[in-house]
Amino acid sequence: MAVLPILRWPDPRLATPCAPAKADDATRALAADMLDTMYAASGRGLAAPQVGVLTRLFVMDATWKQGPRSPRVFLNPEILSHSVATATGPEGCLSIPGVLADVTRPETIRLRWADLSGAVHEETLDGFAAICAQHEIDHLDGIVTFDRLSPDLRAALQAAYADAAE
Ligand code: NI
């Protein structure tokens, strides 16, 4: 169990599509460290490339700020279908600290993934969990919130981020 360093955008590893994850001991150890790291950073989701591992794995706890912890681990997540209805809301990212970007996404998704034993699950996610899962799956595809914005908004937020980093 360890808290890992979190990569900051524009680290090129955050723009690299990830390879499939295996449900093995190395992945189980990584997932435990990623959960430690996520809670330590006060985040609600963290994807493996954010700690420099280019594997299709993310961790999430959408509700721990409102109640007891309920850590979840998702290997090789796949969005099977999504609602036509969308929601737009501010998204933060532990790799882009200080920036909240308004991103539009489907409100509801049907998700398939494997757990740390390799068992496959399906579930319909809505609300914050649906948004968070889509944000983390974007990371596995090398996509960050900046990539989901209009060119004007992206330029403005990137400039603010660069100023804050100086
Ligand atoms: Ni993020």
What does residue 15 show for φ and ψ, rounded to 5 degrees? -115, 15
Band of residue 149 on the pLDDT scale cut at 50, 70, 90: very high
Q: Walk me through the domains of the chain, giving residue ranges and CATH numbers.
A: 18-165 (3.90.45.10)
User: In the predicted model, is pLDDT for residue 67 greater than 80?
Assistant: yes
Band of residue 141 on the pLDDT scale cut at 50, 70, 90: very high
pLDDT at 164: 85
Give the burial string for 106-122 (b: 16+ CB within 10 Å, else e).
bebbebebbebeeeeee
CA of 108 to the centre of ligand 1 (A): 19
- As beta bridge partners, residue 125 has 109
Question: Which residues belong to the active site?
Answer: 136
CA of 118 to the centre of ligand 1 (A): 25
Q: Which amino acid is at 48?
A: A
pTM of the model: 0.97
Average pLDDT over residues 133-145: 98
pLDDT at 57: 98
pLDDT at 91: 97
